[in-house]
Amino acid sequence: MKLNKRSSQPLYAQLKDLLQERIESGFYGAGEQIPSEQVLCKELDLSRPTVRQAIAELVSEGYLEIIKGKGTFVAAEPSKTEIRGFSPFTFSLLAARQLEDFQNLTIERVQGDAEKDQIFELSEGAGHPGYWSIRWQMAGEDGTLAVCHSLVPIYMFPELAADLEAERRMIDITANKYAYLPQKASARLMVRTATRQETESLEMDRLSQLLIVQSKLKSRSGNCCEYVTSMMRSDAVILAMDAGRS
């Protein structure tokens, strides 16, 4: 490895890039120990703080892991849970057949505001009773995979809070509500860096990337009946989508 000490790029950043390149190329394989701080300092004529900063950033980004008493190793490729048949309906509460996968579910009543009312195309203010705000988690073998937040208009499902708290079955909750159930949906998928609170709730490393899906679901009458925001660990899930033409 060679570093350019005349470059405007800081030495720690150059070292970080070189180590990352070697990891991504397979020169350092998953689970393999990289040279120690002492070796890197001697080989590249670097100070220990410079080497430590480069390694610390690679640890925070998930490329390396430090095992106390042993050294620094290339992080193993995490196992991923595949969400098959992914669509805008995947994380919908109203489209769910059962609630067993909806862990740590909470529900509360919230008032309408300009942002929410615009999504649901409702008159702002006192013209409607507000929304149910439902939050839950999806868990995998290695921890929390996703944190979801759903908004449902109260006028469509006035007893939803009582039904969920009573642990009623979805088939009973949605009985005689077919006119308000999701029939059409659209979704937006985006990626961004997680906040500190999000990394804690999803058990992620700092500066990790989130997969975010925002789904807008409409009933057969064309009215928006649910708006869902799902935040997923990008290192722990695979979204599988199938399509075909007849």
Which are the contacts of 18, defined by CB distance < 8 A and separation ≥ 6? Answer: 1, 3
Mean pLDDT of the chain: 90
CA 185, CA 215: separation in Å to the nearest integer?
Answer: 7
Q: Report domain extents, the chain.
A: 11-74, 81-239
Instruction: Please tell me the predicted confidence (pLDDT) of residue 78.
Output: 65
Q: What is the CATH number of domain 81-239?
A: 3.40.1410.10
State the DSSP code for 179.
G
Whole-prediction pTM value?
0.70
Per-residue model confidence as pLDDT tens digits over 111-121: 989 999 999 99
Instruction: Please tell me the predicted confidence (pLDDT) of residue 4.
Output: 85
- Determine the angle formed by the axes of helices 48-60 and 11-25, rounding to 10 degrees: 50
User: In Å, how far are 6, 186, 197, 224 from 189, measured between CA atoms?
Assistant: 42, 10, 21, 19
Which are the contacts of 187, defined by CB distance < 8 A and separation ≥ 6? Answer: 87, 88, 213, 214, 215, 216
CB neighbourhood size of 145 (10 A): 21
Query: How close are the terminal C-alpha atoms of the chain, in Å?
Result: 55
Structural class in CATH, domain 11-74:
mainly alpha
Token pair in block for residue 125: 């203010």
- Fold match between domain 11-74 and domain 81-239: no
**Statement: residue 55 has pLDDT above 70:** yes
3-state DSSP assignment of residue 173:
helix
What is the distance of C-alpha 225 from the center of its chain? 23
**Statement: residue 124 has pLDDT above 80:** no
Per-residue model confidence as pLDDT tens digits over 148-180: 999 999 999 999 999 999 999 999 999 999 999
Most confident of 121-130, 168-177, 194-203: 168-177
